[in-house]
Structure 1
């Protein structure tokens, strides 16, 4: 059976090659879009781990930060069940680079820097210490881009800071973070005693969801996001992003599947006499069905392999090119490769169902009339 499948595919080399390329193009799109989604998912998961045990407190005017002052930290600390609280000032280091791939200045109270960044680990040096003014801890990408080492001087807003710590690679927004003392950041950006957010750490036996509501009721002019609420909002955003990216790839793959169906329908029409002879010499309906379905599935398999090879290669080239900007947009995972291959086989098999059904239902006498 397998030899017959190979022979039938190779007998129509150009048509088969074009069909395989159609599937490959679709799987290529799945790989590229899927790799973008996988990278976003990894960044999301690792970034969430830093705030998974903290309640985010922000001004009632909006969740995007600002409108809070250091005074509110004391108010939050007085709420029953709050173990610790600290303010954080967040702003962009590069005005032309925004969002998750842009560099972020994080102004953190020096005595809280290890708590604020937990569980991010240090690759070298230390976190900020009380008394630090012009010391800086940098993310892994910042270290690489500016070729920084321990003790290097790093210019921020016309001021020179000494590198005292380098964060280990996390695959999250903290790879592009520049952490400086909160008061220094407030002076550099002339924001007085303003902070972007306040993070509240619950006592071990306190329910974070209940404490979040208690803070809102107790501290005037604030709203909160509990760890659970933050995760739900972030996952919704991630799902929307994933649906958009993956759908684009799936659409291309489905178009490739239509190419397979078209090819197989043409093949069935051209091989009417062949199917008639096979049935006349004893081939069963199941044999014809498996033969035709096998051809479609095998072309799907070849298209999947080709699409994965080209897709992985393209992703590696794009990541290498983006490396110059210290931006990583794509991540190839074993899960993505397995799903892409299974999808290629599924597309091939489903596209071959109708042609296989038509071939299997041919009457031997009707088929032999085409001789």
Structure 2
């Protein structure tokens, strides 16, 4: 049976090649778009794990809506159950960069709180910010790579030169694209007076984060809170929407490839009508015809899946290699993604061959033998 399937596929090399390419293009889209989605998910998970126990406190008009001053951190610190609290001012590193996903950012923080804020991230080189520091910075690994700088080098922020005193280890999180500077300096160069973007609150040991978040909201005027569980739920929902959009676009491309398989198999069935009649006349069962036709479609699905996987991996490898010079990783191929893509390719090919296979099995031997 298998040798007959291979013979039929190789007899029509151009048609088979075009069909396999159609599925390959769809699986290529699944790999690339899925790789982006997998990377975003992993980045969030790593970022969340590094700040999982911290409560976000922000202005009731939004994180960037203003109205939150660093003095609010002292009020938050006084709330029963709060171990510590500190304000942070966030701004884009590059002029006109905006606070977009994956963009480099500057974080202003009181120097004596920098180690608390960046824990559990380890230093690759240098030190954290210290009380009394002025125009110095601790940078993430992506910024160090992108700007090709290390401890002792200068980083320009808002036309001011900052000396790099520390470089963080790579984490695969948002911290890799972060440059921490003293809060008062950040407020000065960004003309933000005593303003901060948000406040992080650390619960005391044994204190429930969700309950403490509600207590802070009730105790401090003009603030809203986001507990660790609320943040995770909200972020997962946004990531789910992003994943659905990206993967749906890729699946649509793959389905178009599936239609090409169905079209190819229908043409093959029409051309081989007499062959099916002969097979039935010499004793082949409907099950044999069905397995042969579906088998051809499944193998084309498998070949298309392998083509899409290899080409997708090559493009992702090249893109990540190119983006590595900027300290950015945009795609991630995981075993789960590979398994899903290959299974989808095979199932797509199989499903696309079912209708042509059913048509082939319904032919009567006499009609098929008379067919010209």
Please name the residue that 2:304 is paired with.
303
Please name the residue that 2:256 is paired with.
255
More deviation, 134-143/65-74: 65-74
TM-score (norm 1): 0.96
TM-score (norm 2): 0.96
1:327 is displaced (CA, Å) by 3.3
Please name the residue that 1:50 is paired with.
50
Please name the residue that 2:364 is paired with.
363
Please name the residue that 2:106 is paired with.
105
Please name the residue that 2:73 is paired with.
73
Task: Note the residue ranges of structure 2 that are not aligned, 5 or more in a row.
Answer: none
Q: State whether residues 66 and 197 of structure 1, in contact with CA within 8 Å, keep that contact through their aligned partners in structure 2.
A: no
SS in 2 for 1:100: coil
Matches of 2:96 and 2:191 in 1, distance apart?
A: 20
1:65 is displaced (CA, Å) by 5.6
> What pairs with 1:1-371 in structure 2 (closer than 5 Å)?
1-64=1-64, 66-98=66-98, 99-370=100-371
SS in 2 for 1:68: coil
Matches of 1:158 and 1:368 in 2, distance apart?
A: 84
More deviation, 326-335/248-257: 326-335
Matches of 2:36 and 2:64 in 1, distance apart?
A: 25
- Alpha carbons of structure 1 residues 171 and 226: separation in structure 2 relative to 1, 3 Å: same
Q: State whether residues 212 and 225 of structure 1, in contact with CA within 8 Å, keep that contact through their aligned partners in structure 2.
A: yes
CA offsets 1:201-238 (integer angstroms, 9 cap, x no match):
11121111111111111001111011111111111111
SS in 2 for 1:89: strand
1:131 is displaced (CA, Å) by 2.3
Matches of 2:65 and 2:216 in 1, distance apart?
A: 17
Task: Note the residue ranges of structure 1 that are not aligned, 5 or more in a row.
Answer: none
Matches of 1:66 and 1:235 in 2, distance apart?
A: 26
Matches of 1:156 and 1:285 in 2, distance apart?
A: 74
1:308 is displaced (CA, Å) by 1.1
Q: State whether residues 58 and 65 of structure 1, in contact with CA within 8 Å, keep that contact through their aligned partners in structure 2.
A: no
SS in 1 for 2:101: helix
CA offsets 1:315-347 (integer angstroms, 9 cap, x no match):
222233334444332222222122111111010
Q: State whether residues 290 and 358 of structure 2, in contact with CA within 8 Å, keep that contact through their aligned partners in structure 1.
A: yes
Matches of 2:114 and 2:363 in 1, distance apart?
A: 75
Q: What's the C-alpha RMSD, in Å, of the aligned pairs?
A: 1.5
Q: State whether residues 65 and 197 of structure 1, in contact with CA within 8 Å, keep that contact through their aligned partners in structure 2.
A: no
1:120 is displaced (CA, Å) by 1.9
CA offsets 1:67-112 (integer angstroms, 9 cap, x no match):
2112111111111111111111111111232312221110112121
Q: State whether residues 49 and 119 of structure 1, in contact with CA within 8 Å, keep that contact through their aligned partners in structure 2.
A: no
Matches of 2:112 and 2:326 in 1, distance apart?
A: 32
SS in 2 for 1:67: coil
Q: State whether residues 95 and 158 of structure 2, in contact with CA within 8 Å, keep that contact through their aligned partners in structure 1.
A: no
Q: How many residues align?
A: 371
CA offsets 1:269-298 (integer angstroms, 9 cap, x no match):
111111111111111111111100100000
SS in 2 for 1:90: strand
Matches of 1:161 and 1:131 in 2, distance apart?
A: 14
Matches of 1:190 and 1:247 in 2, distance apart?
A: 44
Matches of 2:70 and 2:311 in 1, distance apart?
A: 53
Matches of 2:202 and 2:66 in 1, distance apart?
A: 20
Q: State whether residues 87 and 199 of structure 1, in contact with CA within 8 Å, keep that contact through their aligned partners in structure 2.
A: yes
Matches of 2:207 and 2:129 in 1, distance apart?
A: 29
Matches of 1:365 and 1:353 in 2, distance apart?
A: 23
Matches of 1:243 and 1:13 in 2, distance apart?
A: 36
1:123 is displaced (CA, Å) by 1.1
Q: State whether residues 27 and 305 of structure 2, in contact with CA within 8 Å, keep that contact through their aligned partners in structure 1.
A: yes
Q: State whether residues 55 and 212 of structure 1, in contact with CA within 8 Å, keep that contact through their aligned partners in structure 2.
A: yes
SS in 1 for 2:170: coil
Matches of 1:19 and 1:74 in 2, distance apart?
A: 66
Matches of 1:118 and 1:65 in 2, distance apart?
A: 27
Q: State whether residues 46 and 171 of structure 1, in contact with CA within 8 Å, keep that contact through their aligned partners in structure 2.
A: yes
